[in-house]
């Protein structure tokens, strides 16, 4: 996910390790640049899994707070790649599906830079299969490639079903203070946004090694949700949009090249850095970074738990305000599949907003638009009337009972929050892609999973993930999104999961989601165009359909215009 809320510390810590084992004839084996890798065969899916392969040297000791370094050795014995590597250090967020047991279910370690590849069984080295590289979300605070919510097996299975067998790759990257420490000293050494640098090295690892697994390094699609989608966006915009040949298509779910967060100022980054130095007794050190590298883990973990660390503008991987980069066309020109959920803002919206005056105060406190002049606030209030349409369905807010806890204008607040964080940026990105004649497929996810309050959460942020990964068993989830009643509705949900996973793999293989091979679904997903902009509405309650992407037009246009002004 997903949620840029205050994080709590995860105190669980374990040292990850990778052992060598003797080769077993039944085990799939590949030889990559660093040596032989032995995976495992999963008969139930007829797939080969290669898990926990280090793509970088362990970022510990003198490599803590350093740019990721490629593995520089040849293994003397085959590498056992049958279990996921440890997650990078996590700091839990207030998710709607609370992962409070992440620390106990998934081991964590500073030594965490590993990558995984899942493929159909028996693929030969020269098969040249398409590759989908997934980057997990989590607000740059939590997550990991071993999270069962991102089980790649269903996606690989979907690729086989559509006649486009593919390889799915997932990776770890450093989070929070470990991956996004900033400040003058960090900037001077070119060490900002280490988490994004980790992802970049993982993408290079794919270029160097994926052919050993039967993949095609020239057919790599990068995909992510929330912070993962923002990461995909950063790779699209990196180095002024220079194409380094790391990917040739992109999928962004609830995020993208138009960053949904705010960039911390240099002054605030330095203030936070000084707080870390103080907590670590490194303030007076001659080399403060080296002092932090030697600091005890527990000290840094405690310091990070009370501070915020997010991507910053660094002049390279995040070269400038993303809104400006997009408007100037400074991004890698590749096909794009991008979308948002109907009720994105409900999980982020502030509670207790009861009046227009209180909403004005809420807008002024948000970092997304410059609101130093009252005109902007008044324009936004007029663009988001009360009552209004809670979503594109047209249902009026005044027919919906709201609890005092949430506030009389919760739906109005959520509508604005979702638009300013995600939906306006999605539409603007589609418009820019269309202006340049680039293939772009836009969607709106409109399905409410099981055990989700339709009024206060609805089809909110992250709820699409279970369907994209076709997670019908609810793996890693506190509740199964597909476990709805009656049985006919459950079946339609399963059909949607099957359809979406196929569409995603179709796009990864062919750059079009329309080769999904579901004969019962004949609606063509159109490319986005400026004359008649359209979304595919992915709905598990009714047959998915195409809609005109013209709702809340003036409101979304206002957000983009004022955001562009804010970034200059």
The whole-chain average pLDDT of the chain stands at 92
The answer to whether 507 and 221 have CB atoms below 8 angstroms apart is yes
| Distance in angstroms (rounded) separating the CA atoms of residues 173 and 202 | 9
**Percentage of residues in the chain with pLDDT exceeding 90?**
86
Is CATH 3.90.1580.10 correct for 24-334? no
User: For the chain, what are the domain ranges?
Assistant: 24-334, 338-567
Q: pLDDT (tens digit, 9 = 90+) per residue, 412-467?
A: 999 999 999 999 999 999 999 999 999 999 999 999 999 999 999 999 999 999 99
pLDDT of 382 > 50? The answer is yes
Question: In the prediction, which pLDDT does 1 show?
Answer: 35
**388 to 268, 323, 382, 395, 533: CA distances (angstroms):** 37, 28, 11, 8, 23
Better-scored residue on pLDDT, 402 or 164: 164
pLDDT of 15 > 70? The answer is no
Question: In the prediction, which pLDDT does 71 show?
Answer: 98
Q: pLDDT (tens digit, 9 = 90+) per residue, 521-548?
A: 999 999 999 999 999 999 999 999 999 9
- Residue 396 bridge partners (DSSP): 389
| Cβ neighbours, 10 Å, residue 464 | 25
What value does the mean pLDDT take over residues 377-390? 88
Task: Indicate the pLDDT class of residue 390, thresholds 50, 70 and 90.
Answer: low
- Positions annotated as catalytic residues are 226, 344, 461
DSSP state of 422: I
The answer to whether 470 and 497 have CB atoms below 8 angstroms apart is yes
Dihedral of alpha carbons 434, 225, 32, 505, sign: negative
The answer to whether 130 and 164 have CB atoms below 8 angstroms apart is yes
Question: In the prediction, which pLDDT does 33 show?
Answer: 97
What value does the mean pLDDT take over residues 108-126? 97
What value does the mean pLDDT take over residues 325-353? 97
Q: pLDDT (tens digit, 9 = 90+) per residue, 35-56?
A: 999 999 999 999 999 999 999 9
What value does the mean pLDDT take over residues 560-565? 86
pLDDT of 556 > 50? The answer is yes
Question: In the prediction, which pLDDT does 550 show?
Answer: 96
Q: At how many degrees (to 10) do helices 553-567 and 424-435 cross?
A: 80
The answer to whether 147 and 197 have CB atoms below 8 angstroms apart is no
Question: How do strand 336-341 and strand 114-120 relate by DSSP bridges?
Answer: unpaired
Question: In the prediction, which pLDDT does 105 show?
Answer: 74
Question: In the prediction, which pLDDT does 22 show?
Answer: 33
Task: Indicate the pLDDT class of residue 367, thresholds 50, 70 and 90.
Answer: confident
| Distance in angstroms (rounded) separating the CA atoms of residues 478 and 471 | 12
Six-digit token string for 46 = 């007829």
Q: pLDDT (tens digit, 9 = 90+) per residue, 472-503?
A: 999 999 899 999 999 999 999 999 999 999 99
Candidate ranges 41-50, 94-103, 365-374; pick with highest mean pLDDT: 41-50
Question: In the prediction, which pLDDT does 566 show?
Answer: 62
Is CATH 3.40.630.30 correct for 338-567? no
What value does the mean pLDDT take over residues 204-210? 98
Residue 188, Cβ density class (10 Å: 0-12 exposed, 13-18 middle, ≥19 buried): exposed
What value does the mean pLDDT take over residues 111-139? 97
What value does the mean pLDDT take over residues 336-343? 98
What value does the mean pLDDT take over residues 504-517? 98
pTM of the model: 0.94
Identify which of 31, 77, 85, 26 has the alpha carbon closest to the alpha carbon of residue 54.
85
Instruction: Give the list of residues 6+ apart from residue 403 with CB closer than 8 angstroms, or none.
Output: none
Q: pLDDT (tens digit, 9 = 90+) per residue, 50-80?
A: 999 999 999 999 999 999 999 999 999 999 9
Question: In the prediction, which pLDDT does 393 show?
Answer: 52
What value does the mean pLDDT take over residues 231-259? 98
pLDDT of 9 > 70? The answer is no
Question: In the prediction, which pLDDT does 99 show?
Answer: 45
Task: Indicate the pLDDT class of residue 563, thresholds 50, 70 and 90.
Answer: confident
Six-digit token string for 27 = 């085990």
What value does the mean pLDDT take over residues 502-519? 98
Cα torsion for 488, 490, 492, 495, to the nearest 10°?
A: -130
Task: Indicate the pLDDT class of residue 397, thresholds 50, 70 and 90.
Answer: confident
**Percentage of residues in the chain with pLDDT exceeding 70?**
91
The two domains 24-334 and 338-567 share their CATH topology (first three levels equal): yes
Question: In the prediction, which pLDDT does 392 show?
Answer: 56
């Amino acid at each position: 996910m997903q949620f840029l809320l205050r994080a709590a510390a995860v105190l669980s810590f374990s040292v990850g390790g990778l052992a060598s084992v003797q080769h077993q004839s039944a085990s799939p084996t590949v030889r990559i640049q660093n040596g032989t890798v032995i995976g495992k065969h999963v008969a139930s899916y007829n797939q080969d899994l290669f898990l926990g392969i280090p793509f970088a040297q362990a970022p510990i000791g003198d490599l803590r707070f350093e740019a990721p370094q490629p593995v520089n050795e040849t293994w003397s014995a085959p590498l056992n790649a049958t279990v996921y590597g440890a997650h990078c250090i996590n700091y839990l967020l207030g998710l709607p599906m609370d992962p409070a047991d992440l620390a106990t279910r998934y081991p964590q370690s500073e030594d965490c830079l590993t990558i995984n590849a899942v493929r159909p069984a028996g693929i030969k080295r020269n098969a040249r299969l398409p590759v989908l590289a997934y980057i997990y979300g989590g607000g740059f605070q939590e997550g990991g490639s071993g999270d069962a919510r991102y089980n790649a097996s269903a996606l690989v299975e979907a690729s086989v079903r559509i006649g486009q067998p593919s390889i799915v790759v997932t990776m770890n990257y450093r989070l929070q203070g470990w991956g996004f420490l900033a400040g003058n000293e960090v900037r001077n050494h070119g060490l900002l946004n280490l988490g994004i640098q980790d992802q970049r090295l993982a993408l290079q690892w794919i270029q160097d090694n994926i052919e050993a697994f039967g993949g095609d390094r020239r057919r790599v699609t990068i995909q992510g949700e929330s912070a993962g989608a923002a990461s995909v966006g950063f790779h699209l915009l990196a180095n002024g949009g220079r194409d380094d040949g790391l990917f040739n298509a992109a999928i962004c779910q609830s995020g993208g090249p138009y960053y949904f967060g705010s960039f911390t100022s240099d002054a605030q980054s330095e203030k936070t850095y000084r707080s870390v130095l103080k907590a670590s007794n490194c303030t007076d050190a001659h080399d403060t970074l080296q002092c932090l590298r030697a600091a005890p883990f527990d000290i840094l973990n405690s310091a990070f738990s009370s501070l915020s660390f997010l991507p910053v503008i660094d002049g390279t991987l995040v070269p400038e305000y993303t809104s400006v980069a997009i408007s100037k066309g400074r991004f890698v020109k590749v096909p794009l599949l991008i979308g948002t959920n109907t009720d994105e803002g409900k999980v982020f919206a502030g509670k207790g907003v009861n009046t227009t005056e209180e909403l004005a105060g809420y807008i002024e406190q948000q970092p997304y638009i410059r609101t130093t002049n009252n005109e902007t606030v008044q324009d936004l209030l007029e663009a988001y009337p009360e009552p209004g349409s809670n979503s594109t369905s047209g249902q009026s807010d005044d027919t919906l009972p709201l609890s005092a806890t949430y506030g009389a204008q919760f739906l109005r607040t959520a509508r604005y929050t979702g638009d300013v964080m995600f939906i306006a940026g999605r539409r603007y990105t589609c418009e820019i892609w269309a202006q340049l004649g680039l293939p772009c497929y836009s969607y709106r996810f409109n399905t409410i999973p099981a055990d989700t309050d339709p009024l206060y959460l609805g089809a909110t942020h992250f709820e699409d993930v279970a369907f994209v990964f076709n997670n019908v068993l609810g793996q890693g989830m506190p509740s199964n999104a597909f476990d709805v009643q009656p049985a006919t509705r459950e079946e339609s949900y399963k059909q949607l999961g099957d359809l979406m996973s196929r569409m995603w793999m179709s796009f990864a293989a062919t750059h079009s989601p329309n080769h999904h091979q579901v004969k019962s679904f004949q609606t063509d997903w159109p490319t986005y165009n400026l004359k008649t902009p359209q979304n595919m509405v992915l709905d598990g309650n009714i047959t998915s359909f195409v809609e005109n992407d013209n709702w809340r037009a003036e409101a979304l246009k206002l957000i983009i215009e004022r955001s562009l002004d804010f970034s200059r």
